[in-house]
Amino acid sequence: MKLYPIIFACSILAMFSACDKQNLDPYHGVNNIYFMWSAEKVSQNNSNLVDSSVVSFGFSLPTLTDSVFVLPIKTQGQIFPYDRKVGIRLGANTTAILHEDYDFNIDSVVIPANQVVANLPIRFHRTAAMKQDSVVLEFELFENENFQTTMHTVITNVATGATRSFVKYKIFVTDLVSQPRNWLSGTFGKFSQLKFYFICETLGITPLEFINIQEIPLFNSYGVLIQRKLNDLKREGKTVYEADGSEMTMGTQSNS
């Protein structure tokens, strides 16, 4: 019985020895390149496979003027000990304007030496136009001397014909904000973006912190506090107005 482990070990050693002597050929498969989130989950908490993202300034305070979005691309195939230039260009759906809406050097994209992933840092600028409509930045990967793009699209819904692309990625950038689910009209009145920011600035919280509050009594106390602040400013001759010129007020429950 004691001979079996020895025989097994010898067999393994002989196998590796034979491999060394044969000088196995290197990998000759396809060096594909694709947008990583279209084939692998975005994060541990988000298992969706996507070919687009949204960058929203809407839930950020007005003091935030730009934001960096990092988009990963990935390769299949052999790893090389030197940087490899990636074929990437703007897609036909792009409406974003370079140096006005975003900054990114599209000519410098490479897969770094000994790596399979490159992270593309795109800096988006918060512009006044984004309060009216979203801008779109679309990237498209194409074949070059280093990479192929044999992965194109996959059908995600047979009934609707919806697809997901591996080589095209859209980023929608907006400064629009919709009414949060936890907005209480009786407490805060009619929703507006100006009012939302005023509440957050007065309370010293971020918009994201606001939308995570669930305690109704806390919201009710906030409404009363904000209305008192508005009343004080009005007495000082600093009345706060909405975008349409009407006076900013809280809801009826905060005026009692």
- The domain locations on the chain are 33-174, 185-254
- Residue 37 CA to residue 33 CA, distance in Å, equals 12
Q: Which CATH number fits domain 33-174: 3.10.25.10, 2.60.40.2030, 3.40.47.10, 3.10.129.10?
A: 2.60.40.2030
Residue of 112, 102, 175 whose CA lies nearest to 139: 102
Cβ-contact 123, 98 below 8 angstroms: no
pTM, full prediction? 0.70
Angle between helices 193-203 and 216-235 (to 10 degrees): 100
- Mention every residue, 6+ apart, whose C-beta is less than 8 A from residue 190: none
Mean pLDDT of the region 44-63: 82
- Residue 45's identity, in one-letter code, is N
Residue 147 has pLDDT above 80, yes or no: yes
Mean pLDDT of the region 22-33: 61
Mean pLDDT of the region 139-149: 96
What does the pLDDT read at residue 29?
Answer: 64
